[in-house]
Amino acid sequence: MKLEKTWILALLTGSVIWFISCGEQGVKESDPPVDIEKVAEKQPEVHGSEIKAGDIKFENPLNAEWVLSGKGIYELKCQACHKLTTDKLVGPGWKDVTKKREPVWIMNMITNVDMMLEKDPEAQKLLEQCLVRMPNQNITTDEARQVIEFMRQNDGEK
């Protein structure tokens, strides 16, 4: 019994020391740990890289093809939460969104929502209002650009 207690004590002391002094080393010893960040980079899920002002061009007249494909993406992936009016559903209504926000801001909200909710005060305000994070809907940068074209049309641009 005494022996057993000593053992447990030794084990406890051992693990405490290990925890404090050399956690990383201990882990390395037992298995080569997989780096989560690296693995995430390899994942095929689409997260666009940050889009900066100047990366994207806007022209009139609107690109009719993009308006059409943007509408298709809206109906498949956006309509459940966003109306085309000013009414809020789950997220804000889209009417006049291209007048209120920089298109680059909208595109980043679509493709880089994690970054936006972490950094951007306007995005954070929206989350406080809606209480549902804008989901990542697996939309590429090009597709997001097409959605913007549809939004521009919805806002009356020709």
Partner 1 sequence: MQASLLLTFFALTLFSCKPKGTQSAVSGDAATKVYVAPGKYDEFYNFVSGGFSGQMSVYGLPSGRLFRVIPVFSVDPEKGYGYSEESKPMLNTSHGFVPWDDLHHIALSVTKSEHDGRWAFGNANNTPRIARIDLKTFRTAEIIEIPNSAGNHSSPFITQNSEYVVAGTRFSVPIGDNQDVPINTYKDNFKGTVSFIGVDPKEGTMNVAFQILTPGINFDLARAGKGKSGDWFFFSCYNSEKANTLLEVNASQKDKDFIMAVNWKKAEEYAKAGKGQKKPVRYAHNVYDEKTHSAKSTIMNEVLVLDPKDCPDMVYFMPCPKSPHGCDTDPSGEYIVGSGKLAAVIPVFSFTKIQAAIAAKNYDGDFDGIPVLKYEAVLHGEVQKPGLGPLHTEFDANGYAYTSFFVSSEIVKWRVSDLQVVDRVPTYYSIGHLSVPGGPTAKPHGKYVIAYNKITKDRYLPTGPELAQSAQLYDISGEKMKLILDFPTIGEPHYAEAIPSSLIMNNSKKIYAIEENGHPYAAKGEGQAKVERKGNEIHVYMSSIRSHFTPDNIEGVKLGDIVFFHVTNLEQDWDVPHGFAVKGASNAELLIMPGETQTLVWKPEKVGVYPMYCTDFCSALHQEMQGYIRVSPAGSNVPLTFSTGTNLPTEPGK
Interface residues with partner 1 (CB under 8 A)?
3-4, 7, 10-11, 14-15, 18, 23-24, 26-27, 29-34, 36, 39, 42-45, 75-77, 79-81, 89-90, 131-133, 135-139
Q: What is the smallest separation between the CB atom of 135 and partner 1, expressed in angstroms?
A: 5
What tokens does 86 get? Answer: 């000013």
Residue (of 64, 55, 79, 37) closest to 150 by Cα position:
64
- Report the C-alpha gap between 28 and 40 in whole angstroms: 21
- Judged by beta carbon, residue 73 or residue 148, the one nearer partner 1 is 73
Structure tokens belonging to residue 110: 């679509």
Least separation in angstroms between CB 107 and partner 1:
17
39 vs 53 by CB, closer to partner 1: 39
Cβ-based nearer residue to partner 1, 44 or 61: 44
Query: Looking at beta carbons only, is 63 or 79 nearer to partner 1?
Result: 79
Cis amide linkage into residue 61, ω under 30° from 0: yes
Smallest separation (angstroms) from partner 1 to the CB of 117: 13
CB of 60 to partner 1, least distance (A): 28
Dihedral sign for Cα 40, 41, 47, 53, please.
positive
Handedness of CA 103, 109, 115, 116 (dihedral sign): positive
